[in-house]
Amino acid sequence: MSELNIRSAEIWDAQELLDIYRPYVENTAISFEYDVPAIEEFRHRMETILLKYPYLVAVHEGEIVGYAYASTFKDRKAYDWSVETTIYMKESMKGKGYGKTLYLALEEELQKRNILNANACIAVTEKEDPYLTNGSMQFHERMGYKAVGTFHYSGKKFGRWYHMMWMEKMLGEHIKM
């Protein structure tokens, strides 16, 4: 694997990140969004996340090849120890180990911020099709995430129903009182 640099995302990265995200919206059921967000909306999302959580980009040979971030799991004070994690890689960069490196860097940043629970919401399917494989679920399993629940037929895209699975990974010790 050639060198990969991980850094914090900057607002001026928005167009490159949106270009990575676009095929997931337009061609897959990995994202349940139907329409690619406008650049202003995408920037606003980034700004909101960067106020509280890490938002990282992976740079290979001067080009952003993926990004990962954490966001609010549930908007209640008692959930401050938990986040939802997200990762998107350029299609051509999958299978090179870059996603793993990026996600590990995200987890390290979360641990520095005393986040104990990383949760991933993943589209899954009983039968893989042109719009969705179970690659994301398998990636998270390799990263140490465990399935904790599935919502059946909860997302419809491209005229097909898909399930939504929650997976979790404990990033730190939960001290019991």
pTM for this structure?
A: 0.94
Convert the pLDDT of each residue in 161-170 to its tens digit: 999 999 999 9
Give CA separation, 86 vs 2, 53, 130, 146, 175, in Å: 24, 12, 22, 15, 26
Please give the residue range of the domain that contains residue 59: 5-170
Convert the pLDDT of each residue in 80-136 to its tens digit: 999 999 999 998 888 888 999 999 999 999 999 999 999 999 999 999 999 999 999
Residue 177 counted as domain residue: no
What gap in Å lies between CA 1 and CA 39, rounded to an integer? 32
DSSP state of 80: T
Instruction: Name the domain count of the chain.
Output: 1
CATH of residue 92's domain is: 3.40.630.30
Query: Which residues are 121's β-sheet partners?
Result: 166
Pull the structure tokens for residue 101. Answer: 């490196």
pLDDT at residue 176, as a whole number: 83
